[in-house]
Structure 1
Amino acid sequence: MPSAFPHPAADRARYDRATAHLDAPFAVCDLEAFDANAADLVRRAGGKPLRVASKSVRCRALLERALAREGFHGVMAFTLAEAVWLARGGLADVLVGYPSADRAGYAELAADPKLAAAVTVMVDDPAQLAWIDAARGGGTQEIRVCLELDTSLRLLGGRLRFGARRSPLHSPGQLADVARAVLRRPGFRLVGVMAYEGHVAGVGDRVPGRPLRSAGVRVMQHAARRELAERRAAAVRAVRAVAPDLEFVNGGGTGSVQHTAAEDAVTEVAAGSGLLMPRLFDHYTSFGGRPAALFALPVARRPGFGAVTVLGGGYPASGAPGADRLPVPWLPEGLRYDPAEGAGEVQTPLLGPPADDLLIGDRVWFRHAKSGELAERFDALHLIEGDRVVSTAPTYRGEGHTFL
């Protein structure tokens, strides 16, 4: 496929030189691209702190690299078990981005004052509070709680809906009611509100070859941002009337950083995918980035003219099934999947003129569709600066953890 990035041939040569001593398959992170992406996220946040979404990274060395930069503060974890692990490793501010039914995790949290001070759990239903109470055992530590506001745009009386099905709390009044439920229940402290607008932050508005769809996405997102800014502000006012000591209001994601940060009600913005720039984040009009995470597969067969077969490759991303969930053959440019086979678990045929220049053992470089899910396939990321590998960092998987 044609590249939207300036020096693909030079990048390929650089990556090949840096990893010449490695046998593919393997994964890499280009630290220069990672740092450039981090700097751009900070610029877009306009002075508001960025909370790193660990789901999109899943490598402690890279989480720590981001957090060491001015402008980043705190982590948004995707499971309670992960949050406990990160906090035990020294992180002092971990927000669990999703409600949990992890009884062992809650018991551990309630029994340890340091963990309880470092970890905030997500709630959007009073029944979850009862679950946590039942799970805490003899633990007496106060549990820090964040409420999630549903951000979906609802039109035509709710018959038309844009946005993920997450929290049931859509109105300011509903959020305030659950805030009161938290305050009435001993052993809990309400500290935050979160509202993730995935239909803005995670949906590209420049769909290749689809100008009408792209225009439609932009119209929807403009309306969604305007509606949510008003409702989020009202919801925060309603919760602060109940809990005036609220510590943070979290919103946004990679695709909406500058828009979310501009809202007075928001105190911090979440982002993770923008650090590594997977392929799903190529198609935005408001920002760009450099691909930082790639994986290399070796050419194992040459089945005919204009075709090679690489080892592995069947690494689809989560979400509604479709071609956009597959990794993309990135370097050399011009390779494509065989439509009859796609990306295979053990082998993947690739077609296109560049195939005739590839020899057995040569690398084809791919980009994953979604950011952190690449780390579920590889034990380590080889960290590249310039044309050399400067270190190798274990992924969560490499440290023996697959939290989901």
Structure 2
Amino acid sequence: MPYGCPVRTTRDRLDTATKHLDPPVAVVDLAAFDHNADDLVRRAGGHPIRVASKSVRCRYLLERVLRRPGFAGVMSYALPEALWLTRVWAGTDLADTDILLAYPTVDHSALRALAANADARARISLTVDSVDHLDLIDAALGADHPEIRLCLELDVSWRPVLGSDKVHIGARRSPVFTPRQAAELAAAVEARPGFRLVGLMGYEGQIAGMGDAPSGKPLLGTALRWVQRGSARELASRREAAVAAVNAVRRLEFVNGGGTGSIESTKRDTSVTEIAAGSGLIGPGLFDHYTRFTPRPAVLFAVPVVRRPAPGIATLLGGGYLASGPANRDRLPVPHLPEGLRLLTMEGAGEVQTPVTGPGADQLRIGDRVWFRHAKAGELAERFAEYHLVDGERVVQTLPTYRGEGHSFG
């Protein structure tokens, strides 16, 4: 959407900056990225933001944002990734970066590498939600392994039917739902040698990851806002009780909550000490439908027009970069520039071709570029080995994504 200049000017700026590059090409609009970072800090209202690396997947962009005031620490999505970041940041100003692995790991070789590296053990916390995770770590490392930092994950979904889990609104993650269950798991951690409980986390996906203003669906939007208000009220009370119960067993160093879409409600929870966010830096298509904030599109990709099969239709080469999640149209890339283009219902975005139609399609010529936004924030980096950093009308730097550095962490 336009922000401070006409859409055509934005298209011209990106085309001019990348005219020496053959598409497909992916860019980072640095002004939009930095604006989004500032807006996350503003929205967090003094809470430090832990950067969700899965939504970025480019080491340079992680470093850029971690050096900005208001950001502290990384929320990693794979233990090999966390170990790699610890290694590449050793000896730099980011050497002390705290890394929370937000998903339980069953990677035995990575666990052995963690155990063998005292610096990594001091920086990385593993998330667990059951005694089974403790058993697996012991099996991988032996019962006499060095101390491993742990974070408990609380299920922060909403169960509006009291005492029943038959109505579950939110992500299916942790089995730990009640304060009592959290305290019991904390006690189990404390009773096991080789573990140190340091944190508690919860991702309120039913608020953070679900836009409350879906286009053309006002009744659904009203229902979503009702669900999110109810969930936030219930969670504030339950999470506070869970934190108190765990603190009675072991004093926590941090309590992580949130996600880009839930910052406003998460920061009001007095038990939360930090907020996780990442997608808000990028501004992907799925984040177009929130009433609380509007990120600027910061990461885009362009594919070329290669056919004109009929009036009103231009066919592009490739572009079928689909997002994970439920298999529906929301997971398709979003045509962004020129304005007014849309995908064809029968073809969508394809492996080798993507037809587009709509106002302006007839003005597209063979060789022109159409700029897209991915539906999700970080997954585009799995398709491109490098991002071209655009400042104004110039590419000022070209830097590798995780893939470009030879890594695919899952």
TM range, smaller chain: over 0.9
Matched residue of 1:155: which SS? Answer: coil
Equivalence map 1:148-187=2 (5 Å): 148-156=153-161, 157-187=164-194
Instruction: Report the Cα offset of residue 343 of structure 1.
Output: 0.8
For residues 138 and 146 of structure 1, the distance between their equivalents in structure 2, rounded to whole angstroms, comes to: 19
Equivalence map 1:357-368=2 (5 Å): 357-368=363-374
Equivalence map 1:74-89=2 (5 Å): 74-89=73-88
Identity of aligned residues (%): 59
**Given that residues 107 and 139 in structure 1 are in contact (C-alpha distance below 8 angstroms), is that contact kept between their aligned partners in structure 2?**
no
Q: Work out whether 1:266 is the aligned partner of 2:272.
A: yes
Question: Given the superposition, is the C-alpha separation of residues 4 and 153 from structure 1 closer, same or farther in structure 2, using an over 3 Å criterion?
Answer: farther
Instruction: Report the Cα offset of residue 353 of structure 1.
Output: 3.3
**Given that residues 111 and 139 in structure 1 are in contact (C-alpha distance below 8 angstroms), is that contact kept between their aligned partners in structure 2?**
no
For residues 212 and 339 of structure 1, the distance between their equivalents in structure 2, rounded to whole angstroms, comes to: 24
**231-240 vs 3-12, which deviates more?**
3-12
Equivalence map 1:98-113=2 (5 Å): 98-113=103-118
Instruction: In structure 2, list runs of 5 or more residues that go unmatched.
Output: 90-94
Q: Work out whether 1:124 is the aligned partner of 2:129.
A: yes
Instruction: Report the Cα offset of residue 392 of structure 1.
Output: 0.8
For residues 185 and 69 of structure 1, the distance between their equivalents in structure 2, rounded to whole angstroms, comes to: 38
Name the residue aligned to 1:286: 292
Matched residue of 1:76: which SS? Answer: strand
Name the residue aligned to 1:329: 335
Could you tell me which of 220, 232, 250 is aligned with 2:256?
250
Over aligned residues, Cα RMSD in angstroms?
1.2
**Given that residues 144 and 193 in structure 2 are in contact (C-alpha distance below 8 angstroms), is that contact kept between their aligned partners in structure 1?**
no
**Given that residues 296 and 364 in structure 1 are in contact (C-alpha distance below 8 angstroms), is that contact kept between their aligned partners in structure 2?**
yes
Q: Work out whether 1:389 is the aligned partner of 2:395.
A: yes
Instruction: Report the Cα offset of residue 84 of structure 1.
Output: 0.8
Matched residue of 1:84: which SS? Answer: helix
For residues 379 and 205 of structure 1, the distance between their equivalents in structure 2, rounded to whole angstroms, comes to: 33
Deviation digits for residues 65-94 of structure 1, max 9, x if unmatched? 110000000000001111111111125311
Instruction: Report the Cα offset of residue 19 of structure 1.
Output: 0.6
Name the residue aligned to 1:319: 325
For residues 191 and 313 of structure 1, the distance between their equivalents in structure 2, rounded to whole angstroms, comes to: 43
Q: Work out whether 1:225 is the aligned partner of 2:232.
A: yes
For residues 9 and 162 of structure 1, the distance between their equivalents in structure 2, rounded to whole angstroms, comes to: 41
Q: Work out whether 1:141 is the aligned partner of 2:139.
A: no
For residues 54 and 399 of structure 2, the distance between their equivalents in structure 1, rounded to whole angstroms, comes to: 16
**Given that residues 109 and 141 in structure 1 are in contact (C-alpha distance below 8 angstroms), is that contact kept between their aligned partners in structure 2?**
no
Question: Given the superposition, is the C-alpha separation of residues 13 and 4 from structure 1 closer, same or farther in structure 2, using an over 3 Å criterion?
Answer: closer
Q: Work out whether 1:191 is the aligned partner of 2:198.
A: yes
Instruction: Report the Cα offset of residue 282 of structure 1.
Output: 0.9
Could you tell me which of 378, 398, 404 is aligned with 2:404?
398
Instruction: Report the Cα offset of residue 137 of structure 1.
Output: 5.0
**116-125 vs 87-96, which deviates more?**
87-96
**Given that residues 151 and 228 in structure 1 are in contact (C-alpha distance below 8 angstroms), is that contact kept between their aligned partners in structure 2?**
yes
Name the residue aligned to 2:381: 375
Q: Work out whether 1:216 is the aligned partner of 2:223.
A: yes
2:18 partner amino acid: T
Deviation digits for residues 251-272 of structure 1, max 9, x if unmatched? 0000011221121100000000
For residues 348 and 278 of structure 2, the distance between their equivalents in structure 1, rounded to whole angstroms, comes to: 28
Matched residue of 2:231: which SS? Answer: helix
Deviation digits for residues 39-72 of structure 1, max 9, x if unmatched? 0100111111000000000000000011000000
1:40 partner amino acid: D
**Given that residues 143 and 194 in structure 2 are in contact (C-alpha distance below 8 angstroms), is that contact kept between their aligned partners in structure 1?**
no
Matched residue of 2:371: which SS? Answer: strand
Matched residue of 1:299: which SS? Answer: strand
TM-score by length of 2: 0.96
Deviation digits for residues 114-144 of structure 1, max 9, x if unmatched? 1111111010000110101111259842100
For residues 407 and 81 of structure 2, the distance between their equivalents in structure 1, rounded to whole angstroms, comes to: 8
Name the residue aligned to 1:342: 348
**Given that residues 144 and 194 in structure 2 are in contact (C-alpha distance below 8 angstroms), is that contact kept between their aligned partners in structure 1?**
no
**Given that residues 111 and 138 in structure 1 are in contact (C-alpha distance below 8 angstroms), is that contact kept between their aligned partners in structure 2?**
no
Name the residue aligned to 1:49: 48
Question: Given the superposition, is the C-alpha separation of residues 256 and 220 from structure 1 closer, same or farther in structure 2, using an over 3 Å criterion?
Answer: same
Name the residue aligned to 2:22: 23
For residues 347 and 293 of structure 2, the distance between their equivalents in structure 1, rounded to whole angstroms, comes to: 34
Q: Work out whether 1:64 is the aligned partner of 2:63.
A: yes
Instruction: In structure 1, list runs of 5 or more residues that go unmatched.
Output: none
**Given that residues 109 and 115 in structure 1 are in contact (C-alpha distance below 8 angstroms), is that contact kept between their aligned partners in structure 2?**
yes
